[in-house]
Amino acid sequence: MFRRILFLAVPASFLSLSPAPGQDAGALSPRNANYTIEVRLDSAQKTLEGKEILTWRNLMQMPAQELWFHLYWNAWKNNRSSWMQEALLSRRGARIPEEGDWSYCEVKSVKVLPAGANTGANLTGKTRYASPDDGNPNDQTVLVATLPQPVSPGESVMVEVSWKSKIPRTFARTGFRDNYFFIAQWFPKVGVCQADGTWNCHQFHAGTEFFSDYGVYDVKMTVPRGWLLGATGEPKGVTDNSDGTATHEYVQADVHDFAWTTSPGYREARKNFEFPGLKPVQMRLLYQPEHERQVERHFRATQATLRYYGTWFGEYPYGHITIIDPAWESGTGGMEYPTLFTCGSRVLNPAGGGSPEGVTVHEAGHQFWYGIVGNNEFEDAWLDEGFNTFSTARTMDAAFGETSDVFRLFRGYIPYMVPEIKFHRMTGGNRLDGYRDAARSDIEATPTFEYFPATGANISYNKTALWLSMMERMLGWETLQNILSTHFQRWKFRHPKPDDFFAIANEVSGRDLTYFFDQVYRKAAVFDYAVESVASDELKTEGLVDKDGKPTYVKGGSSTPKQYQTRVVVRRLEDGVLPVDVLLKFENGDEFRDLWDSRNTWKLYTIVKPVKLSYAIVDPDRKILLDINYTNNSRALVPKADFAASKWASKWMIALQDYLQTLAFLF
C-alpha cells in the first residue's frame, strides 16, 4: 500500500522537483503568467478601459496552440449566463438587477507582440467564446484565442489585450456602490494549461471561485485624484495627471491574481505585525469612517491570523498585507485576493460576538489557503475553503476564545448578545448545523462547479472542516499540524490536487487513511451512531439447571453478592462506517471501552457485574464530528430529561406569554 501511494504521489509532485525553465532566480513561484496592466477608471460612467501585456510561458510538455482567457464580468452581462442561471438555484444573486447594474468585459483587440514565431499576429476578431462546462451558448465568460503557431514547451508568448468593461453594481463581491469601487476578476485572465495540452479554464459559476497561474503583476491604475487606493502588492508611486486623475502603480510578484479598490470615503491606518520566528508584515487598513472604533479589532484579528497560521503551517512571505473594510451593503465583503482581503462590519458590533474578527481571520487566512497554496477553486474548493474554515475556527479559539450568539434586532441595526451561550470550535466553528442540512447534497469528490449551488458551500466549507477536525481528534493535533504544514510547504506557489493532500496525510501520519477519505470524501456518507437500548437487570436464573447430574427446576434465585447483567445495544443508523469507541460506565465508576468497527449495523454488549450500568455512549470523545445526531449517542439507565425539558419549556412559555401580552397591547 505504501509503495502504491508513493507511486501515485510521484507524478503529481514531478513538477516540484524539476526547475521551471526560465524561472527567475529567487522566485517563489513559476511566474509563468505575468501581467503588465494599465487601466483607467471612469467613476462617473462606471467603466474601465484597460490594456494588458501578458507574458505567458508554457510549463507543460505539450505545445499550446491556444490561449484561453477568463472574462468573468460577462457573467453579469444578462440573465442568460450560466452564473445567473445557477444563481436562481442558490441564495446568491437573489436580487433583480436594474438597468445600470449589469456588466460586461469586451475585448477590443488581441495582438501577439514581437518575440518569436508568433511575431505580430493580430488575433482581433479571430477569437471565440467557449462553454466547456455546460455548453451554454449565451455564456461569454471564456474567450479562446487561437495562435497562428503553437507555443512550444518552455517557450513564452507576449500578448497584448485591450478591453473595455462596464463595472457591475456588485455581483459576487466585485463592483461599485456610488463612488466606492472594488475591482476584482476585472482583466482578461489566462487560464491554466494542463499537462495534456488542454486548458483548465472553467466558465464562471455561481458557486465557485477562481484558478490561475502565478506570476508578476505590474499594474497602473488611473483614478480620480485624491481617492485612496488599495491593491494587491506594494505601491511603487503615484503620478498626478493634468486631467484631475492620479495614476497609482502597484507591483507584486508570485501571486495568481490582482484586485484593487478605491474610494474617496476611505480612511487609512497602519500597523506592523511582528512575532518571533516569523517575517514582519506591514499591515495597512482602509476602513469606513463609521468603523473608526473597530480599527484595532481588525488589526488584532489579522495579527492573530499571521501568527497562528504562520506558526502552524508556514510563514507569510510577502511582508505586507492590505485589509479592506468595505462600504456598507457593497456586497464586496468577506473575500480574499493575494495580499489583500475584505472583511465587513457594522457600526454596532459587540466584542465577543465574533464579528468582525471571524471574517477578518477567515479572509486573512485565505492568504495561506488559496493565495500561497493555489488550489483549483473551480474543481476543489474544499482544499482552500475547508482548510481555511478549520484553521479559522482554531485561530479564533486560540486568540479570542469561544464567541457568543448575537441577535440583530430592529432591521439588524441593534445587536443583542447572549454571553452565556457559546459556540464551540469543533461544532459551531466548523459549522456542523449547515453541514447537517446538506449532508447528502453532493459527494465531496464531485468537482465543485458541479455541486448543487444552494448547498455547495456546506460541503466545501463545513464538511471539510469537520472531517479535518475528526482527523485532529483521531491522529492528534501535532500530527494533523504536521500534515497541514507539510502540505503547505510542498505545495506553496503550486496547484495541488486532492490526491496530493491524501498522499501527504498518509505519509506524515504513517497510516493508510484511504478508508477514512473513502467515507468522508469519495462518498456522501452520513454518520449517525446511537445507543439504542440499555438495561441492567439483576441476574437471576430460572429454568432447569443441572444439580447432582439431574435437571432441577429453579426459579429466580439471586446470587450472592448480587450480580447485574447489563445489555447495551449500539446501532449505526446511516451508511457512514468508521471504527468508533463505545464506552459503558458503571455506577461504581468502572468503565468498559471497546472499539467497534461498525461494519454491521448493530452490536450487543453483555456484561455481568455486581453494579448496574450508569450510562453508555458511542463515540465518547466525539471524534466523529460528522455524526449528524450526537444526542442519540448516549443513553443513561435512569431517565433524567424531565428537568431539562421543564426548564426550557418554561422559558419558552414565558416568551409565548410575552408575545400574547404584546399582541393584546394593541387591542
Restricting to residues 504-563, name those near another protein by CB under 8 A: 534
Q: Is 432 helix (H, G, I), strand (E, B) or coil?
A: helix
* 589 interacts with another protein by CB under 8 A: no
CA-nearest of 311, 313, 370, 295 to 339 is 370
Site stretch for another protein (CB under 8 A), options 61-69, 186-194, 385-393, 630-638: 630-638
Site stretch for another protein (CB under 8 A), options 151-159, 443-451, 479-487, 632-640: 632-640
CA 187 from chain centre, in angstroms, equals 24
Out of 82, 208, 247, 288, name the contact with another protein by CB under 8 A: 288
Out of 143, 483, 617, 618, name the contact with another protein by CB under 8 A: 617
- Beta carbon of residue 176, minimum distance to another protein (angstroms, whole number): 9
DSSP 118-161: TTT-B-TT-EEE--TTT--TT--SEEEEEEEEEEPTT-EEEEEE
Grid coordinates given for 621:
470523545
Site stretch for another protein (CB under 8 A), options 72-80, 237-245, 552-560, 633-641: 633-641
Interface of this chain with another protein, residues 153 to 192, rule: CB under 8 A? 177-180
Cis peptide before 19 (omega within 30 of 0): no
Site stretch for another protein (CB under 8 A), options 213-221, 381-389, 508-516, 626-634: 626-634
- 156 beta partners: 57
CA-nearest of 438, 330, 322, 458 to 389 is 458
Whether residue 424 contacts residue 402, with contact meaning beta carbons closer than 8 Å, is answered with yes
**317/428 with CB nearer another protein:** 428
DSSP 351-390: TTS-TTHHHHHHHHHTTTBTTTB---TTT-THHHHHHHHH
- Beta carbon of residue 551, minimum distance to another protein (angstroms, whole number): 40
**381/624 with CB nearer another protein:** 624
Site stretch for another protein (CB under 8 A), options 78-86, 151-159, 215-223, 404-412: 404-412
* 398 interacts with another protein by CB under 8 A: no
* 293 interacts with another protein by CB under 8 A: no
CA distances in angstroms from 46 to 101, 223, 459, 509, 641, listed in the order given: 10, 11, 36, 53, 61
- Beta carbon of residue 26, minimum distance to another protein (angstroms, whole number): 41
Grid coordinates given for 624:
466523529
* Contacts of 450 by beta carbon, 8 Å cutoff, 6+ apart: 442
Out of 3, 270, 411, 550, name the contact with another protein by CB under 8 A: 411
Interface of this chain with another protein, residues 420 to 439, rule: CB under 8 A? 420-424, 427-428, 432-433, 436-437
Looking only at Cα atoms, what is the longest distance across the chain? 118
Interface of this chain with another protein, residues 334 to 393, rule: CB under 8 A? 346-347
Interface of this chain with another protein, residues 645 to 664, rule: CB under 8 A? 645-664
* 6 interacts with another protein by CB under 8 A: no
Out of 410, 510, 551, 599, name the contact with another protein by CB under 8 A: 410
Torsion 30-32-33-36 (CA) sign: positive
**25/644 with CB nearer another protein:** 644
* 633 interacts with another protein by CB under 8 A: yes
Q: Is 448 helix (H, G, I), strand (E, B) or coil?
A: helix
CA 298 from chain centre, in angstroms, equals 20
**556/639 with CB nearer another protein:** 639
Site stretch for another protein (CB under 8 A), options 110-118, 190-198, 323-331, 359-367: 323-331
* 44 interacts with another protein by CB under 8 A: no
